[in-house]
Amino acid sequence: MDRYFPLGRRRRTVPRRGVRVVVVIMLAVGLVGGVVDLAAADREHELDRRKASVTRGIDRQQADVEQASRQLQSATGALRASQQQLSAARGGLARTLGQLAAARQLDAQMEQGLAAAEQRLAVADGDYARARVLVADTQQGIERFAVQSMASSTPTLISVDAMASGDSPLAFPELMSSAESVLSAQTSSMDDLEAAQVLMKLREERVEELRDEVEVERAVAAEHLGRTAALVREARAQRQQVSALVVQRRDSRREAASVRERDLRILRHMRRERARVRVLLSKVRMHKAVTVKAQPSAGGGPASSSSTGNGFLALPVPGAYVSSPYGMRMHPIFRVMKLHDGIDFAAACGTPVLAAADGRVVSQYYDTGFGNRVIVANGSVNGTPLATSYNHLTRYSTSTGENVSRGEVIGYVGTTGFSTGCHLHFMVYASGRPTDPAGWL
């Protein structure tokens, strides 16, 4: 008979319950009419049988309610756990989003650093380009000088030519000085070329160094941003997963609550039917008891009397005061005007309750309104079947079918059922209808 509400599935199984509910409802519908049609001798047996059947059904239904309550409690616990997981997931996402914001800020800083590095690279590229131009220009100047030197021979040959040509010897020093100036200029150009080449090499190395730096910064920024973005995706996926789990478990809890409420409705219906059976059974037993030939009072059976009824019944709680008489009054719980069908005797809970007259216990059960109650058939008085009812008891001291004597303890004052305090609600039935007990006390 177990019923499960697994988290991921909305289906459930409730074996044989529908059949049981239909049987109970059919029993309830046919109860009154069936009793009317039965022979008087068989009524009590049939009602006893039906009461036992309904009681067994109530026991089974109570087990279903308890199981549904456990399922509901489990589903509620699972829902709360998933809600806590969702809260944690939201907190984790918030932290990861904070990390992403920090990563983006760092990325912006890295972008600035990358831009500065790229600017330095651009400057270095410009310096390198200018160095190459300088080297090229220097090389071209040296090449032109070399061509010119080849065309005019060496300085020594220049001096020999000058002497052979018959020039004045005084012009020779001047020619030598000019030749030495040319050689010095050539040497300086070669030095400039060498320096330009060294500078170009250094700037080329700097350009390569800056290129590597830029690439490293780009890779670090991309890796950091990619890692943080992956964390954000993971956190969002986790939050979505937990959110779906919360929805799923909320549905499971809602279904469990619905099943429990349905079980409770069925249980309440079955209890009402059992109460109806008990009332009918009480009436049958009262009728049976008062129609039995009167027994002597000493025998503890139903009594017959020629009394007018005044003083026939003894006080059920000697020394107690009447807190509410028979008649119309405002109901203390429901706050509506209705008949108060008995007399309330105020007394402490646990005070003994005495039989008001000899009789036989025809019914003893719990009623939602009257609480624990005992009904005693007291025989016929001047042709009037009489019965007494003792209500809101805390416990019994008799059992159904037992003969009791006037003044015998049959129970104890309580406050069960619809009650606002410890008291005995004492009722008298004349010919099966409630009447004012004051006329019989």
Tens of pLDDT, residue by residue over 359-378, are 999 989 998 889 999 999 99
317 and 299 co-located in one domain: yes
Domain tally for the chain?
2
Co-location of 282 and 306 in the same domain: no
Tell me what pLDDT residue 124 has.
77
The DSSP code sequence of 408-430 is -EEEE-B--SS-SSSEEEEEEEE
Do residues 375 and 393 make contact, with C-beta atoms less than 8 angstroms apart? no
432 with 286: CB under 8 angstroms? Answer: yes
Q: Which residues pair with 391 in a beta bridge?
A: 425
In whole angstroms, what is the distance from residue 381 CA to residue 438 CA? 16
Helix axes 172-291, 40-152, angle to 10 degrees: 180
For residues 346 and 315, the answer to whether their CB atoms sit within 8 Å is no
Which of 264, 291, 318 is the last residue in one of the domains? Answer: 291
Please give the Cα distance from 437 to 426 (Å, whole number).
8
Identify the three-state secondary structure at position 387. strand
Q: What is the mean pLDDT of each run of 10 residues along the chain (441 residues)?
A: 46 46 43 42 72 85 89 88 85 83 80 79 79 78 70 54 56 63 70 77 81 82 82 85 87 90 87 80 66 42 44 92 87 76 94 96 89 93 91 95 95 93 94 90 91
> CB-hemisphere CA count at 13 Å for 166?
0
Cα 183 to Cα 189: distance, rounded to the nearest angstrom: 10
Q: Count how many Cα atoms sit within 13 Å of the Cα of residue 341 in the half-sphere of its side chain.
A: 15
Tokens 């009824």: give the residue: 309
Read off φ and ψ for residue 325, nearest 5 degrees: -80, 175
Does 310 share its domain with 231? no
Q: Mark whether 287 and 297 lie in a shared domain.
A: no
368-407 pLDDT, tens per residue? 889 999 999 999 888 889 999 999 999 999 999 999 999 9
Q: Which two tokens stand for residue 45?
A: 């047996």
Q: Residues 319, 368: one domain? A: yes
Gyration radius from the chain CA atoms: 57
How crowded is the C-beta side of 1, counted as CA atoms within 13 Å?
Answer: 13
Where does a domain end: 291, 317, 337? 291
Q: Which residues pair with 328 in a beta bridge?
A: 339
pLDDT at 322 (0 to 100): 92
In three-state secondary structure terms, 216 is helix
pTM above 0.75, yes or no: no
- Phi-psi region for residue 417, left (φ > 0), alpha (ψ -120 to 50) or beta? left
CATH of the domain at 317: 2.70.70.10
Residue that terminates a domain, selected from 249, 266, 291: 291
| Same domain membership, residue 202 and residue 306 | no
Looking at the structure, tell me whether residues 280 and 299 fall in a common domain.
no
Residue 19 and residue 74 in one domain: yes
pLDDT of residue 79: 86
Whether the CB-CB separation of 20 and 64 falls below 8 Å is answered with no
Q: How many CB atoms lie within 10 A of CB 236?
A: 14
Tell me the three state secondary structure of residue 434: strand
Q: Which of 278, 429, 415 is nearest to 341 (CA)?
A: 429
* Residues 250, 300 within the same domain: no
Please provide the DSSP assignment of 90-127 as one string: HHHHHHHHHHHHHHHHHHHHHHHHHHHHHHHHHHHHHH
Residue type for position 132: R
Q: By residue range, what is the domain housing residue 249?
A: 1-291
Label residue 73 left, alpha or beta by phi (over 0 means left) and psi (-120 to 50 means alpha): alpha
**Whether 221 and 249 share a structural domain:** yes
What is the pLDDT, as a whole number, of residue 39? 53
What whole-number distance in Å separates Cα of residue 285 and Cα of residue 410? 18
Are 4 and 89 found together in one domain?
yes
| Contact between 234 and 134 (Cβ < 8 Å) | no
Same domain, 55 and 106: yes
